[in-house]
Structure formats: C-alpha cells, structure tokens
C-alpha cells in the first residue's frame, strides 16, 4: 500500500497483523525490547502514515510535510515498521534493530533514521520539541500539522505539563497529540503507580480540545484525528484507549510487556508463536 | 555612549536585535527572566514576533528551542546559569546536543556574579558539566566586544552552544576590532616566567594582575580562553613549555572547569606545575564579590600571590 490509500478494512487488518509480526520479530531477535508500547500503537501509526499524513519517503525532509514525533521514544519499532513499509529505507534494515552500528536504535534518533523528525527517549522532551516544531510552523506561516504521540506513563513527567501549558498559551492548533493510554507503565498500572485520572479533564483544564478514541478501531482513529486536525485556536489531545502488547495475548495488558527479555531461541519462538494473528512471511 | 559603558545584558539584547534584523530566523526565548537577561523590553518591544516567553519552565524552554531549531530557527534561550546548566542538563543533552539541534543556551549571572541570590542560584559547575557533553561548544566572554563578536559567530555557526553571560557593565578588555575564534585562545600578554590563564569574568581582573606583577619584575604570559570547548591545547602547551609554570583562575569550582581542561591537556602532553584558583568545591552563599574572593582565594590579590609562588617557589 502506498501513501494515503483508500481504506480497506481487510487490507489494513492484514497490514496491522504484519506490523505486529515484524515488531515482535525484530525486538525478539535483538534479545530484548519495548514490545508492549509499540504493539499498542500499530493502528494509530498505520492510520497516520497511510491515511492522514503528507510525507514523502523519497524526500524525508520535504518542507511541507506533516511532522511526526513519538515522544515515547521507546516505541521506535512501530515507527520503523511504518517507515520501512512506506519506503523511507529498505525493509532489510528492520532486523538490524539494536545491532552494533544500526540505523534503528531502540529509542528514536533523527540523525540515524530517515523519516524520524526528532530524537526522543528521555520522556517528556519530545512533546516539548513538538511544541517548538509547531510554533516554528506557525511563525513561518506553514500549513502542515505536527503529530505527536506521548505515553501515559510519560505523562508522569512534569515537562509534559509544562509543554501542555505552553501549547495552549501559544494556541498551537497545528499540534495534534495522541496519548497512548494503555493504562500500564513499568511498575504497574498507571493508577497504582501515579494516578492520571481524570485525564481528559486535566487536558481540558490545561486549555486543550480533548477527544477520546478506541486506539484499535480504524474508523474511530481516522475520524478522531481528522476532528482534531480541524480544531482551531487551541491544541488537540486525543486520549487513545489502547491495549498494551495488543496482538500478543500472553503479554496483553501486562506491565511486564513494557520491556521483554528474549534470552534464547526458545523464548523467541514462544513469543512469535504467541502472536494471535495469521502467520506472515517476514519481508527480510 | 561607548559600547563598554553599557551593561553586558544590554549588549546581549541589542546584539540579538541586530541578529534578528540580519536573519529573521533568530529568536529570543526566555523563561520569565527576560528582564534579568536584558531582552525585556529591548527585544520584546522591537521584535515581539521573535520573542517567545516560556514562563518559569526551563526544561520546556530548552526542548521547545530544540524543536524551533529543527525547523530552521536560531533560538537564543536564556536563564540564570544554575537553571541553564544543571536544571536542564538532560534537556540540553538529548534535545540539543545528542539530536544536534542548533540551540544557543545562555547561562546568565554565572558564579559569584549571582551575588544577593546566594547559594541556591550561584552555579560554580556549569563550565565543568557543559564541557563534558559531546557536540556542545562552551564559551565565556570577558567583555562586551567579545560578547558581541561571539554572538555573531554563534548565529552563523550551526552548533549547539552554551554561553555564560555576566550581566553588569564590564571594563573593556578588547575593542571593536576583536574577532572571536572558538579555536584560539587570546594571548593578552607575552611573558616567560609564568603562564596565567583565565576565562569570562576573571579576565576582567587578570590583565591588571599582569601589570602589577610586571612592576615586581615578574613577566606573566596571560592567556584568555573565550572557548572552554573547543579548547585550544596548542597555545597552552607552547606557553607551558616556555614558562614551566601555570596558574589558572575561574569564577567556578576548581574541579572540572577551565582548570580541569588545562590539567587534562598538560598532564597528557606537557606535564607542568599547575595552580588552580576558583571556588574550592564549596557551595555559594549570599555575599559580596570581595568576601567570596577572599574566602575562597581567587581574587586579584590571591592570583598575584599564586603567580609569585610559582616563580619564586
């Protein structure tokens, strides 16, 4: 499938299934990684790259492109799948995740990876960077949007709320942020570790237009992102209700899926066999 | 009014205005200390569209600046040096240096020049911690002429940079013809008995020290280092080979800053006796400059004495 294609439910389901196999494979090959928070974002990232964003794989720095910053930089593998499938770099790069000298590090790196718009990984910072990118877009009179994904655990960071105030104050209506609300972080549920609720009220109180969506429902994602894009005068926050490690039932909804260890071939096989979707042939 | 009769922060602000007029991508970013930095009202009145206030949120300011830089803006973001370095160390590291986003971070009121704000605000480690960061230049200008030239250089150089900025008016060390070069130390005086090294605020005092020691028959070679990183090792080594005695003074902790850089270079390339003067691993406090010079032993009198001891044993 190529840029901003007609939506076909079955084809998108098949693509999501393939992404989940790729993400799980490249993480498991590398011996460890953040599988849960990458699998929770598959439908959102596919929707952005295939139905929403104006990007050009042949010209990753195209001036008028939409910008995309995953502030929860550990979700790199889901972005790498999308970038490879869109043609920003060869699919053969995918299994090099975290290898010595790789262009695909666990946490996203704008210098290493074509199509990555910001180096992220120290939580909270990418969201502020997205605010700067959005403000520059406004100062330059440009029409593109800035899409940013933050984590729910990441939302514990004070910097997230500093950025939240900043974006509202500067009326960054070209900034659409999606919070991957899978309700789990490393040490447990978000409510156990550091309660976020009432999350939508918090963002509303911060001056944002707030939406909620099912982060695994193609139509809901597409409709909600488009509603967010149409907001004027303030930034938009989409609370995406997601399932951590979606598609890998043995890890779904577990905090442990945040970062898994895959010490040997048996463990690799266990995780790959655990994928709930139809088996796919990996493209590398 | 001559340039050197103006406050350093006034020259910071007027130079920012010049840079904005040359290139509208230059932006002034502040975190509710724009009056302290001198940019309010100077920049905010003249170029309100290039002025961004982030409120009291320094971490956000640095990362927002990184985002602006990614889009071709040239942000000069300023706050007190304690916040511009240690408070936002990770933001400078990842958003700016690691990501190679062209942000200029200005640390105002460095070291003892923070005066009445005392221990919480007196930062003695910014040169040390910033110079250990890859892909970050670290500068400290000693007067308005150097400041102005340095800022012009920074605006044209796509390099994440940290610069100290003393706020009040300072004596002229240089003049209009001065051109900043980050790769070269400035030899202010030629001498053969002892090498004296200073940067930033302390270079306000060291030329006088050299004159007074000359009257005593001690010939001091004075090297001013406007750039702590990159660090001009060659000039230091040549001078140390000649004098075989080095005194270094800085408005910083003696650990890790300019003195640290000097010792690293000399110990590897030209082992030489070195005396480091500065704050001996202590926190700051509310006090006058003279009190702190005397208490910690790095005022002009103590610098002179250190040079004498180096020469006379």
A117-123 mean pLDDT: 98
Strand-pair category, B104-108 with B161-165? parallel
B65 and B197 share one domain: no
A104-129 mean pLDDT: 98
B154 and B34 share one domain: yes
B160 and B298 share one domain: no
For the cut 90, the answer to whether the pLDDT of residue A111 exceeds it is yes
Cβ(B169)–Cβ(B140) under 8 Å? no
Please give the helix or strand (H or E) that residue A169 lies within, else none.
helix A158-169
B42 and B160 share one domain: yes
Banded model confidence at residue A4, pLDDT cuts 50, 70, 90: confident
Q: A69-101 pLDDT, tens per residue?
A: 999 999 999 999 999 999 999 999 999 999 999
Q: Do the domain assignments include residue B175?
A: no
B11 and B134 share one domain: yes
Query: How far apart are the C-alpha atoms of A41 and A221, rounded to whole Å?
Result: 11
- The nearest CA of chain A is from the CA of B181 a distance in Å of 27
For chain A, the structural domain boundaries read: 9-274
Cβ(B169)–Cβ(B175) under 8 Å? no
pLDDT for A3 equals 57
Residue B42's CATH number: 3.40.50.970
Say whether residue B313 is in contact with chain A using an 8 A CB cutoff: no
For the cut 90, the answer to whether the pLDDT of residue B313 exceeds it is no
Q: B34-54 pLDDT, tens per residue?
A: 999 999 999 999 999 999 999
Cβ(B231)–Cβ(B201) under 8 Å? no
Q: Note the ipTM here.
A: 0.97
pLDDT for B183 equals 98
Say whether residue A175 is in contact with chain B using an 8 A CB cutoff: no
Considering only A2-16, B42-56, B135-149, B243-257, which range has the smallest mean pLDDT?
Answer: A2-16
Backbone dihedral region for residue A176 (phi beyond 0: left; psi -120 to 50: alpha; all else: beta): beta
B192 and B160 share one domain: no
Q: Which domain holds residue B77?
A: 3-165
B151 and B258 share one domain: no
Q: Do the domain assignments include residue B224?
A: yes
A5-17 mean pLDDT: 95
Chain A positions touching B30 (Cβ under 8 A) are none
For the cut 60, the answer to whether the pLDDT of residue A1 exceeds it is no
Chain B positions touching A117 (Cβ under 8 A) are 70
CATH number for the segment(s) A9-274: 3.40.50.970
How many domains would you assign to chain B? 2
Write the secondary structure of chain B as one string of H (helix), E (strand) and C (coil).
Answer: CCHHHCEHHHHHHHHHHHHHHHCCCEEEEECCCHHHHCCCCHHHHHCHHHEEECCCCHHHHHHHHHHHHHCCCEEEEEEEHHHHHHHCHHHHHHHHHHCCCCCEEEEECCHHHHHHHCCCCCCCCHHHHHHCCCCCEEECCCCHHHHHHHHHHHHHCCCCEEEEECCCECCCCCCCCCCCCCCCCEEEECCCCEEEEECHHHHHCHHHHHHHHHHCCCCEEEEECCEEECCCHHHHHHHHHHHCEEEEEEEEECCCCHHHHHHHHHHHHCCCEEEEEEECCCCCCCCCHHHHHHHHCCCHHHHHHHHHHHHHC
B65 and B115 share one domain: yes
- The nearest CA of chain A is from the CA of B14 a distance in Å of 22
Say whether residue A122 is in contact with chain B using an 8 A CB cutoff: yes
B149 and B95 share one domain: yes
Banded model confidence at residue A281, pLDDT cuts 50, 70, 90: very high
Q: A221-263 pLDDT, tens per residue?
A: 999 999 999 999 999 999 999 999 999 999 999 999 999 999 9
């Amino acid at each position: 499938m190529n840029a901003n294609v007609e939506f076909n439910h079955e084809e998108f389901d098949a693509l999501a299934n393939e992404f989940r196999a790729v993400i799980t494979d490249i993480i498991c090959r590398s011996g460890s990684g953040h599988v849960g928070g990458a699998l929770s974002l598959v439908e959102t990232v596919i929707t952005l790259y295939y139905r929403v964003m104006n990007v050009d794989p042949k010209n990753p720095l195209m001036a008028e492109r939409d910008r995309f910053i995953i502030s929860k930089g550990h979700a790199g593998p889901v972005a790498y799948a999308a970038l490879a499938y869109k043609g920003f770099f060869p699919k053969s790069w995918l299994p090099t995740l975290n290898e010595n000298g790789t262009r695909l590090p666990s946490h996203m790196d704008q210098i290493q990876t074509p199509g990555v718009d910001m180096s992220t990984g120290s939580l909270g910072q990418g969201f502020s960077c997205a605010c700067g990118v959005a403000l520059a877009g406004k100062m330059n009179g440009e029409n593109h949007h800035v899409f940013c994904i933050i984590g729910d655990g990441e939302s514990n960071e004070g910097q997230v709320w500093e950025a939240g105030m900043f974006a509202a104050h500067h009326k960054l209506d070209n900034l659409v942020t999606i919070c991957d609300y899978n309700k789990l972080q490393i040490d447990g549920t978000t409510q156990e570790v550091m309660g976020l609720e009432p999350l939508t009220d918090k963002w509303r109180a911060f001056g944002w237009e707030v939406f909620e969506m099912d982060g695994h429902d193609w139509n809901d994602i597409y409709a909600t992102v488009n509603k967010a894009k149409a907001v004027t005068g303030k930034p938009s926050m989409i609370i995406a209700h997601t399932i951590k490690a979606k598609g890998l039932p043995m890890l779904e909804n577990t905090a442990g899926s945040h970062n898994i260890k895959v010490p040997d071939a048996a463990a690799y096989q266990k995780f790959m066999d655990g994928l709930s979707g139809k088996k796919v042939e990996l493209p590398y | 009014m001559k340039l050197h009769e103006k406050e350093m922060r006034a020259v910071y602000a007027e130079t920012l205005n010049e840079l904005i007029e040359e290139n509208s991508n230059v932006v002034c970013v502040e975190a509710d200390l724009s009056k302290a930095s001198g940019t309010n009202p100077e920049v905010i009145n003249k170029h309100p569209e290039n002025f961004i206030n982030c409120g009291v949120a320094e971490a956000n300011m640095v990362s927002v600046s990184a985002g602006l830089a990614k889009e071709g803006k040239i942000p000069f973001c300023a706050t007190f040096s304690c916040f511009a370095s240690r408070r936002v160390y990770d933001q400078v590291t990842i958003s700016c240096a690691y990501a190679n986003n062209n942000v200029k971070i200005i640390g105002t009121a460095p070291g003892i020049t923070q005066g009445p704000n005392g221990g919480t605000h007196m930062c003695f480690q910014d040169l040390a911690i910033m110079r250990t960061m890859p892909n970050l230049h670290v500068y400290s200008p000693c007067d308005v002429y150097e400041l102005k030239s340095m800022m012009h250089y920074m605006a044209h150089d796509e390099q994440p940079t940290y610069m100290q900025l003393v706020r009040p008016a300072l004596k002229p060390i240089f003049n209009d013809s001065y051109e900043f070069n980050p790769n070269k130390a400035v030899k202010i005086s030629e001498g053969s008995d002892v090498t004296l090294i200073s940067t930033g605020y302390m270079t306000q005092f060291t030329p006088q020290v050299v004159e007074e020691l000359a009257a005593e028959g001690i010939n001091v070679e004075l090297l001013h280092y406007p750039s702590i990183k990159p660090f001009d090792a060659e000039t230091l080594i040549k001078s140390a080979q000649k004098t075989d005695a080095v005194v270094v003074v800085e408005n910083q902790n003696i650990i890790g800053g300019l003195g640290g850089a000097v010792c690293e270079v000399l110990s590897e390339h030209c082992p030489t006796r070195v005396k480091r003067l500065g704050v001996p691993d202590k926190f700051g406090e509310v006090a006058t400059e003279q009190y702190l010079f005397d208490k910690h032993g790095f005022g002009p009198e103590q610098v002179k004495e250190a040079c004498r001891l180096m020469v006379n044993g």
